[in-house]
Structure 1
């Protein structure tokens, strides 16, 4: 739970930090994010716009056949007249006629303009101050937004404002009904991703060429709602446009150059266009010839003709293909900024492995990238890449730093501290959940195993130091592995003796059974070792094992400069006493009554005696853990019952029969029975044997 809380705290801090970046909108981060979002267009590829919009281009073919641009205004007039004759519903000119060309050419163009009821002329705002014809300003005043709603509290409109403009000659444009600006405003990096639909001039709001062309095409007015924070909405009649607070429309580009049906201007002038090619369409007229047109770098095309940006504005509206970046996208981004890092933190908390954590991070990040693209492709939602992913990155880096600097450092310490005397699976549990470990000391039920080599002093005297060390290593190594295999903790080596703890430092269910199985495996392994010793000419060895179960205090104990994980208490002392009694009773394994009770099925025991061990007043029942079949067990139990009842002569007969088979315990009882038969025990004798040695 502690690690979970830390990981969740890292995720929350990562989200809050990313939120700060999100609100600050640093230019560099914004540029990187915009470039990543641009890539979606190239992955998606070009798509076809609707049939309502077309482009008539003053292209290379037109310049070659008609002559260099600008053309004579008689030619331009013929172009406008022929477009009307072809049935174009609206003609929008992405050009301005600000300089006189001559009385006759200007008058000819003026007649064509006046005779075209759905012609939208273009003009250009600029910041450089220049003299403007009052008649041109008067014409332009009719082009400003007429249906404008200013909400309470609006003191200024946050639109880009210009100081001057290039207007059409009043003598040419006097008969025009509509005027729309064709300015474009790039992003930080020079790419054109948004089209300004509204600009501010001399305190009034003016619509763009694309917006006015759309208005004339739908025959509905432009409606603008301005709130204190900026533009709330822009609509053409009942068709709302997706704009930001600066009145700009995010362009959902269809492709590169010539994404729209494009017709050469010279073909219109010479009437070589199919009759139905332009009928009922919104036609944008502009220059596309290399070297004389306004190049616009876009996510799709580094040199898109500016006229196609106006066409894109109108087509996006007519196709309802707005690139949406509003409250919905902001809500999704904010949700991802908090939910994704929290989810990653929970996933990272479930695994201790760096590679698995990296896989989770990659899966979550990749999932968001795919989701972002699918929402863009199918729902036109313009979600950020950087800001929702940044807290995921920060969470992963923070969590991995914490894992490596704290958790894995602690894990390495724990492995070093316990790896030499705890089984590998227990070490893994300790490392994964160190909170389970109480190193300061605790009282808990354990099983303690003591084993010792019989006659080790005599054995050591018969071997050289090198042979003795080799023999000990050959013996202790497999015995240690057996302890660890059975989930025991190797407490210590005491010369030739082994002490092991079961059920500490971590819980080990059936710890008494594990201790008993360790004893059985030790005896089996000892038989194989003795065979090897015999081949090497080394004396064979025998061992005694004592096991007791009960409460003990376990933990790190010792001095401040040297301590070990160990156990202390009566249970530990009893197991040591039981190991010592194995020599007295002539058996290999003795266990306490509590061990027998907790060992479970699968083991066979013989009750050996009631013993009052040194240091304890209360007697304990001790049992022999049987590793083979005991044919005379029923007879032994009957003889033992007679012995405790004081019928020593009868017990003597039974023990004598069993002792003849070589049973050392029966030999001991036979000797006792004969002694008590000769000299009866004192009155009140309880049948308890008092051990005089440890």
Structure 2
């Protein structure tokens, strides 16, 4: 089209390979060894090379490839230069003349791909005569290939005419060396950039220390599925699920505060070098001792849980329906053997854990709602808990809905900070132990009197008091000391 006296023309950015000809063999060829590639002595060229990683970070990818093509053409005094993908689509180009056509040699690109990352020099001039296989005005070319993430190669292709036809001529050696060095630096820079992207992704799930260990590990078998002992945590915000029953606009109103809460909970998990396996709206699934081993994984999980519950209790938020401004949480913890590792399909996978221990931890978190306890742990966790990490007080034996095996549950409480707190915890433990002993033997009246001694602010104790009151009126048939729960 024409505007005023200026004519505009659209040009397709797809390089056409030359039509097949009887003779496409170059008159001279040189594959430059890797040790020669880095023998660049020109200071200006070295300066350009050192700036490449920073330019890569500051430019859009297509703009960067165009910049590289221009740098290569000018440095080599070439007719044109291009950055091309495997399908011979031009990603970036620079030409000495606007009407210069770009035609690529199939054989040169295939040779560069086979020899990568070594650069290849081809000359098609024999005794001052240009072979018919190349475009007019081009009698030599240099190509280097580098493999990107996913195995897709990118080609750096420079072509020109004139000068010596010998591959070992100083100017040709310099050009070959320079193209190879640019390709190698860009390939390494893109690999580092990809590694940084992976590091950013990993930091969403792992603490900084764990991410560093994974990235520095020479043995990636650590991420392959294997049977290992693991402590599993499930976290959930009380009352938030009710919002999902309302309209989406209501949910959006709480997204800012939900993000703050989930972020603060993640901080506590990372502080104890736990692994966030999954975010489930208003919940978190985390684990310890996989993929990185921690001998004290039970203590780490329990410390994280207590700190999470404390932060929830100390922070005011926009009130949820039927709740105060202090959001409450439920945390369930179980420990045992799981299958841990990279789990998923061939196309998409993530680090995860599966097994009965995972299911049990999820059910324990669900029971926190029915017992109105912020943090519940299983007998297996309580048995391995150090006194300095927390106090476990037994609340009874329960049969979770959908599970065949009953589970002994304990409330996890912070370690006492004073003699007064220690005495209060000991007194509570004595009342609970005596009350549960009577309760589990069917002595519901005695259990009721004992549980009644505990303060009304003690929500789990009030739940046990309620059960004792119900059972003394109508004792369960075939009572085995196990409370059967109807809800998950």
Rounded Cα–Cα distance in structure 2 between residues aligned with 1:595 and 1:632: 20
2:272 corresponding residue in structure 1: 486
- How much has 1:669 moved relative to structure 2? 2.4
2:401 corresponding residue in structure 1: 614
Q: 1:428 to 1:437 in 2, by over 3 A?
A: farther
- The one of 433, 443, 455 equivalent to 2:239 is 455
Q: 1:647 to 1:563 in 2, by over 3 A?
A: same
- The one of 440, 458, 462 equivalent to 1:644 is 440
Alignment pair present for 1:672 and 2:467 = yes
Q: 1:527 to 1:437 in 2, by over 3 A?
A: farther
1:284 corresponding residue in structure 2: none
Deviations 1:505-541 (CA, angstroms, capped at 9, x unpaired): 11122111111011111112113322x657xx99431
TM-score scaled by structure 2? 0.55
Rounded Cα–Cα distance in structure 2 between residues aligned with 1:526 and 1:448: 20
- How much has 1:413 moved relative to structure 2? 6.6
Deviations 1:111-155 (CA, angstroms, capped at 9, x unpaired): xxxxxxxxxxxxxxxxxxxxxxxxxxxxxxxxxxxxxxxxxxxxx
- The one of 206, 212, 223 equivalent to 1:439 is 223
Rounded Cα–Cα distance in structure 1 between residues aligned with 2:441 and 2:232: 33
2:203 corresponding residue in structure 1: 419
- The one of 650, 655, 663 equivalent to 2:458 is 663
Structure 2 residue runs without a partner (length 5+): 1-33, 36-180
- The one of 440, 445, 450 equivalent to 1:654 is 450
Equivalent residue of 1:581, what SS?
Answer: helix
Contact 1:554 1:566 in 2 (8 A): yes
Equivalent residue of 1:594, what SS?
Answer: helix
Equivalent residue of 1:617, what SS?
Answer: coil
- Aligned-CA RMSD value: 3.2
- How much has 1:687 moved relative to structure 2? 0.5
Equivalent residue of 1:657, what SS?
Answer: coil
2:311 corresponding residue in structure 1: 525
Rounded Cα–Cα distance in structure 2 between residues aligned with 1:439 and 1:431: 11
Contact 1:450 1:576 in 2 (8 A): yes
Contact 1:436 1:506 in 2 (8 A): no
Rounded Cα–Cα distance in structure 2 between residues aligned with 1:690 and 1:526: 30
Q: 1:588 to 1:657 in 2, by over 3 A?
A: same
- How much has 1:668 moved relative to structure 2? 2.5
Equivalent residue of 2:326, what SS?
Answer: coil
Rounded Cα–Cα distance in structure 2 between residues aligned with 1:458 and 1:614: 21
- How much has 1:569 moved relative to structure 2? 0.9
Write the mapping of 1:195-210 to structure 2, written as runs, cut at 5 A.
Answer: none
Alignment pair present for 1:632 and 2:418 = no
2:40 corresponding residue in structure 1: none
Write the mapping of 1:120-135 to structure 2, written as runs, cut at 5 A.
Answer: none
Rounded Cα–Cα distance in structure 2 between residues aligned with 1:540 and 1:642: 36
Alignment pair present for 1:576 and 2:372 = no
Equivalent residue of 1:506, what SS?
Answer: coil
Rounded Cα–Cα distance in structure 1 between residues aligned with 2:190 and 2:337: 33
Alignment pair present for 1:587 and 2:373 = yes
Equivalent residue of 2:219, what SS?
Answer: helix
- How much has 1:424 moved relative to structure 2? 0.4
- How much has 1:499 moved relative to structure 2? 0.7
Q: 1:650 to 1:450 in 2, by over 3 A?
A: same
- How much has 1:617 moved relative to structure 2? 2.0
Contact 1:447 1:503 in 2 (8 A): yes
- How much has 1:612 moved relative to structure 2? 2.1
Rounded Cα–Cα distance in structure 2 between residues aligned with 1:413 and 1:578: 36
Q: 1:614 to 1:594 in 2, by over 3 A?
A: same
Rounded Cα–Cα distance in structure 1 between residues aligned with 2:251 and 2:437: 49
* Deviates further, 662-671 or 474-483: 662-671
Rounded Cα–Cα distance in structure 2 between residues aligned with 1:420 and 1:458: 27
- How much has 1:492 moved relative to structure 2? 1.0
Rounded Cα–Cα distance in structure 2 between residues aligned with 1:673 and 1:419: 48
TM-score scaled by structure 1? 0.39
Contact 1:606 1:624 in 2 (8 A): yes
Equivalent residue of 1:693, what SS?
Answer: coil
2:346 corresponding residue in structure 1: 560
- How much has 1:428 moved relative to structure 2? 1.1
Alignment pair present for 1:691 and 2:485 = yes
Rounded Cα–Cα distance in structure 1 between residues aligned with 2:230 and 2:256: 32
Write the mapping of 1:36-435 to structure 2, written as runs, cut at 5 A.
Answer: 412=196, 415-435=199-219
Equivalent residue of 2:477, what SS?
Answer: coil
Deviations 1:157-188 (CA, angstroms, capped at 9, x unpaired): xxxxxxxxxxxxxxxxxxxxxxxxxxxxxxxx
1:147 corresponding residue in structure 2: none
Write the mapping of 1:13-28 to structure 2, written as runs, cut at 5 A.
Answer: none
Rounded Cα–Cα distance in structure 1 between residues aligned with 2:288 and 2:191: 26
- How much has 1:562 moved relative to structure 2? 2.2
- How much has 1:583 moved relative to structure 2? 0.8
Contact 1:644 1:687 in 2 (8 A): yes
Rounded Cα–Cα distance in structure 2 between residues aligned with 1:413 and 1:661: 52
Contact 2:313 2:326 in 1 (8 A): no
Contact 2:241 2:282 in 1 (8 A): no
Q: 1:465 to 1:504 in 2, by over 3 A?
A: same
- How much has 1:637 moved relative to structure 2? 1.2
- How much has 1:419 moved relative to structure 2? 2.1
Rounded Cα–Cα distance in structure 1 between residues aligned with 2:373 and 2:188: 52
- The one of 623, 634, 655 equivalent to 2:410 is 623
Deviations 1:9-52 (CA, angstroms, capped at 9, x unpaired): xxxxxxxx99xxxxxxxxxxxxxxxxxxxxxxxxxxxxxxxxxx
Aligned residues: 294
- How much has 1:411 moved relative to structure 2? 5.1
